[in-house]
């Protein structure tokens, strides 16, 4: 608990610098290329096109599925958009300390805040992508409604979980590149095991497996985004899902604090 | 010019580096700390000293004597394994040649970022910006990403930022060895100026003993993680050059 309060305190003391660093992180990601900001949109657009082509046009999933009256591509986008953020956070979040090693080894800087500003910079890109998503729905004739109010809540949930993840994973990545490679290998698996391409609620599986699948925070977020855009469900209408998520978030936070307490003194020596 | 105020105090500081045969063992040691063996290297072994405000101190020692580790602990980027360290004042450090730049950002962006991280306000930075750019003598490269810089340019820019941001404790670790002699001269003059004017404390690590003698009154000699001599610079020089310490 003391460690937790210390880290919160560091965030408050360094808040201005964190915003500047988040801004620099974005500038850096997109300034080196001729198309600059366009890449933030092009990469997801290509992925969505490929999946839409394979599943909607090729496999004709739209004929059999029930997407609450929405076309497959909109249903797919609603769940896929948060995945782009999550995917980046899995790998780049795990690499945050290595990427910003100069903040660790060259100056006095609270290393616990590094994952936070990396996640902030990714969140801004995500918010822009969600704006485009809303426009996309409009183009199909679906106007934003009151359920959109839930979007910030799900964003914050997702963001918090991945800040804690990055905190934990980036510390371990410093200790060994093996961990980073492990994460890289797992990302694809996590994508297919989570409820992004299918709806976990309608799967015909035993109850225990169902609960395990619902504990997956990726599934929670993808479901949440679909509840907003497609199914029109409020978060309190699925209280168990939210409870599972809070438990998993608490566990992730515990792991992050454990890793921080154990490693923060050693990190500058090994980077 | 030194006052009585102690700005740096080391008491029985020890620093252990755990050397693992490979990264995998190191990762395992996080989860099973008792089961994984490592080679223990005491980079700093029971070091105590005090440095007062306005003092200029040189640290001599062959490679591996623990000089850089001491400076890192003063800067606050490394933590002592045992013992206590008190540092009172804004530390400005050039560790291992570079000031810690983001290689993807331009020189100018790095000036802003670095100054912001030191807690300066935007208007203070824009005031300091021109003198930093002038001092660094990087020319039009200032708007190029720092990954394209040579090591000399990085050192110059790092030095320029550090001397122009009103440090209270100034740490120079070999940072001048990459610049040409004219630039070195300029930097040293500037260092002398801020020491005299602002009562800045200087810690200087270099293999160029002549320069150290010119700038520092006091010398520490380190060997294998211990301070073997602490006293007037001339005597430190004599001991270190004679190899008898």
Q: What is the pLDDT of residue A33?
A: 67
**Pairwise CB contact (< 8 Å): A106 & B77:** yes
Name the band, by pLDDT with cuts 50, 70 and 90, for residue B96.
low
What whole-number distance in Å separates Cα of residue B88 and Cα of residue B90?
7
Task: Return the structure tokens found at A95.
Answer: 């690499």
Q: What is the mean pLDDT of chain B?
A: 83
Q: Secondary structure of chain B: what % helix, strand, coil (to 5)?
A: 40, 30, 30
Q: Dump pLDDT digits (tens) for B140-172.
A: 888 888 888 887 888 888 888 888 877 888 888
Q: What is the pLDDT of residue A152?
A: 94
Q: Dump pLDDT digits (tens) for B29-88.
A: 888 887 888 888 888 888 898 998 888 898 888 888 888 888 889 888 888 999 999 988
**Pairwise CB contact (< 8 Å): A24 & B102:** yes
What whole-number distance in Å separates Cα of residue A233 and Cα of residue A150?
10
What whole-number distance in Å separates Cα of residue A163 and Cα of residue A170?
10
Q: What is the pLDDT of residue B125?
A: 87
Which of A36, A102, A121, A262 to probe by mutation at the B interface, max B CB count within 10 Å? A102
User: Looking at beta carbons, which residues of chain A come within 8 Å of B79?
Assistant: 265, 268
What whole-number distance in Å separates Cα of residue A128 and Cα of residue A155?
12
| DSSP annotation of B75 | H
Q: What is the pLDDT of residue B98?
A: 64
- The partner residue sitting opposite B77, judged by closest CB among A31, A105, A179, is A105
What whole-number distance in Å separates Cα of residue B1 and Cα of residue B53?
8
A105 touches chain B (CB under 8 A): yes
- The partner residue sitting opposite B116, judged by closest CB among A20, A106, A178, is A20
Q: What stretches in chain A show pLDDT beneath 70?
A: 32-35, 61-65
- Which residues, other chains included, contact A135 with Cβ-Cβ below 8 Å and sequence gap of 6+? none
B79 touches chain A (CB under 8 A): yes
What whole-number distance in Å separates Cα of residue B221 and Cα of residue B191?
22
Q: What percentage of chain A has pLDDT greater than the value 90?
A: 47
Q: What is the pLDDT of residue A62?
A: 61
**Pairwise CB contact (< 8 Å): A106 & B95:** yes
- Which residues, other chains included, contact B156 with Cβ-Cβ below 8 Å and sequence gap of 6+? B135, B136, B137, B138, B179, B183
User: Looking at beta carbons, which residues of chain A come within 8 Å of B117?
Assistant: 17, 21, 103, 107, 109
User: Looking at beta carbons, which residues of chain A come within 8 Å of B78?
Assistant: 268-269
Quote the domain boundaries for residue A137. 2-270
Q: Dump pLDDT digits (tens) for A199-243.
A: 888 888 888 888 888 889 999 999 999 999 998 989 899 898 999
- Which residues, other chains included, contact B237 with Cβ-Cβ below 8 Å and sequence gap of 6+? B60, B209, B212, B213, B219
Q: What is the pLDDT of residue B210?
A: 81
A108 touches chain B (CB under 8 A): yes
User: Which domains does chain B show, CATH number per domain?
Assistant: 6-28+41-242 (3.40.50.300)
What whole-number distance in Å separates Cα of residue A169 and Cα of residue A94?
5
A63 touches chain B (CB under 8 A): no
B99 touches chain A (CB under 8 A): yes
Burial class of residue A71 (count of CB atoms within 10 Å of its CB; 0-12, 13-18, 19+): middle
pTM, rounded to two decimals: 0.86
Q: Return the CA Rg of chain A.
A: 19
Residue of chain B nearest A175, judged by CA positions:
B27
Dihedral angle sign, alpha carbons of residues A27, A31, A35, A39 = negative
User: Looking at beta carbons, which residues of chain B come within 8 Å of A28?
Assistant: 102, 104-105
Number of structural domains, chain A?
Answer: 1
């Amino acid at each position: 608990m003391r460690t937790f309060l210390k880290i919160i305190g560091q965030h408050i003391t360094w808040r201005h610098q964190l915003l500047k660093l988040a801004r620099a992180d974005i500038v850096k990601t997109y300034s080196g290329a001729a198309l600059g900001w366009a890449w933030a949109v092009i990469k997801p657009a290509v992925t969505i096109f490929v999946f839409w082509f394979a599943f909607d046009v090729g496999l004709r999933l739209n004929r059999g599925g029930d997407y609450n009256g929405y076309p497959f591509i909109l249903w797919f986008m609603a769940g896929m958009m948060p995945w782009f953020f999550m995917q980046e956070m899995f790998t780049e979040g795990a690499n945050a300390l290595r990427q910003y090693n100069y903040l660790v080894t060259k100056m006095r800087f609270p290393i616990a805040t590094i994952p936070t500003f990396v996640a902030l910079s990714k969140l801004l890109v995500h918010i822009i992508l969600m704006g485009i998503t809303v426009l996309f729905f409009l183009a199909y004739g679906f106007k934003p409604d009151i359920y959109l109010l839930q979007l910030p809540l799900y964003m914050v949930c997702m963001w918090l979980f991945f800040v804690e993840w990055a905190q934990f994973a980036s510390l371990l990545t410093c200790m060994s590149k093996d961990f980073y490679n492990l994460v890289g290998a797992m990302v694809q698996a996590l994508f297919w095991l989570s409820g992004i391409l299918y709806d976990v609620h309608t799967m015909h599986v035993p109850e225990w497996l169902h609960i395990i699948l619902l504990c997956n925070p990726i599934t929670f977020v993808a479901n949440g985004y679909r509840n907003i855009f497609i199914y029109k469900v409020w978060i309190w209408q699925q209280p168990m899902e939210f409870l599972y998520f809070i438990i998993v978030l608490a566990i992730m936070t515990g792991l992050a604090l454990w890793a921080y307490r154990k490693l923060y003194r050693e990190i500058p020596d090994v980077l | 010019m030194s006052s009585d105020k102690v700005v740096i105090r080391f008491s029985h500081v020890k620093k252990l580096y755990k050397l693992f045969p490979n990264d995998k063992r190191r990762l395992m040691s996080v989860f099973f700390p008792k089961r994984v063996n490592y080679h223990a290297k005491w980079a700093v072994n029971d070091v105590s000293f005090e440095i007062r405000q306005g003092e200029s101190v040189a640290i001599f020692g062959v490679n591996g004597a623990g000089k850089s580790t001491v400076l890192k602990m003063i800067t606050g980027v490394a933590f002592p394994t045992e013992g206590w360290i008190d540092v009172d004042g804004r530390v400005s450090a050039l560790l291992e040649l570079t000031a810690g730049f983001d290689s993807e950002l331009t020189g100018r962006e790095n000036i802003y970022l670095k100054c912001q991280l030191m807690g300066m306000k935007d208007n203070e930075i824009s005031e300091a910006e021109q003198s930093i750019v002038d001092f660094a003598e990087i020319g039009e490269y200032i708007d190029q990403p720092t990954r394209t810089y040579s090591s000399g340019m990085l050192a110059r820019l790092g030095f320029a930022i550090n001397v122009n941001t009103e440090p209270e404790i100034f740490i120079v670790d070999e940072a001048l060895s990459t610049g040409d002699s004219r630039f070195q001269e300029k930097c040293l003059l500037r260092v002398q100026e801020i020491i005299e004017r602002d009562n800045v404390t200087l810690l200087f690590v270099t293999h160029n003993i002549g320069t150290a003698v010119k700038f520092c009154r006091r010398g520490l000699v380190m060997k294998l993680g211990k301070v073997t001599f602490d006293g007037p610079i001339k005597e430190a020089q004599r001991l270190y050059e004679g190899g008898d310490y």
